[in-house]
Amino acid sequence: MRMTKRISIAFSVWLLATAPAFASTLFTVAASGLTASSANYGCPAGSFDCFVSLDFQLAAPANATGTIAVNSAVTIATISLDVASVTFASVPGGSPSDVFTNVHYQGSVSVSGSSTNFSQNAGPGPGSVSGLLNGTPFTSSSAIVNLSCFVVGSGQCGLAFGPQAFAVDGQNWLHTFDVFVTATPIPEPSAIALVLLGAAGLTLRRR
């Protein structure tokens, strides 16, 4: 019986010691969102140079919520962001503004670096944007570009949706996020199971 208990204890300790590391890191948006008017705008669809042919530009900063998740190998980042309401004023003015509401941004990109400091690899990633524009529902594909994060516990992430393919109501849009995030490591399901088994074995030993 003693030998059985010893084997049980040794196995429990081994399970706890060899449980896999965290599978991913979840970065939760804590503040900020769409902030820079020079990096948030709309221009006529098909414009050769969107920035010099603006029809709309961010009128005021808009806060975002949501998450950016990075896998344990730091090769893929998955984005899920929301903005409740954001107004784009007409340029140079005088025309009605465009108002986005209940906007959801999602997609994934290839990244490299470390779990605290990573950036998007060359080339845009696939994404989509959906919500309401002036009260009318829309869904559009969108490129995701320039994702970059530096987070040690908490920190900054930046990324942009569009303007390639992000077309709504005859406009190509660029929505650029600069967000403050907090990091939460997420363990693999197998790691959780190993920890529970190990803890159960140690509990039985005390009995």
Mean pLDDT in runs of 10 for the chain (207 residues)? 51 45 82 96 88 92 98 96 98 92 98 96 95 98 97 97 94 97 78 43 50
Nearest-angstrom CA–CA distance, 169 and 187 = 43
In this predicted structure, what is the pLDDT of residue 23?
63
For the beta carbon of residue 1, count every other beta carbon within 10 angstroms: 5
Task: Provide the β-strand partners of residue 119.
Answer: 112, 148
Nearest-angstrom CA–CA distance, 59 and 63 = 13
Question: Cα-flanking dihedrals φ and ψ of residue 49, to 5°?
Answer: -130, 100
Return the structure tokens found at 120.
């998007």
Return the structure tokens found at 22.
């965290």
In this predicted structure, what is the pLDDT of residue 12?
47
| Under 8 Å between Cβ of 103 and 86 | yes
How many C-alpha atoms does 167 have within 13 Å on its Cβ side?
A: 8
Structural element, H or E, at residue 12: helix 2-18
Q: What would the DSSP string read from start to end of 156-180?
A: EEEEEE-STT-EETTEEEEEEEEEE
In this predicted structure, what is the pLDDT of residue 16?
42
**Does the global pTM surpass 0.85?**
no
In this predicted structure, what is the pLDDT of residue 109?
98
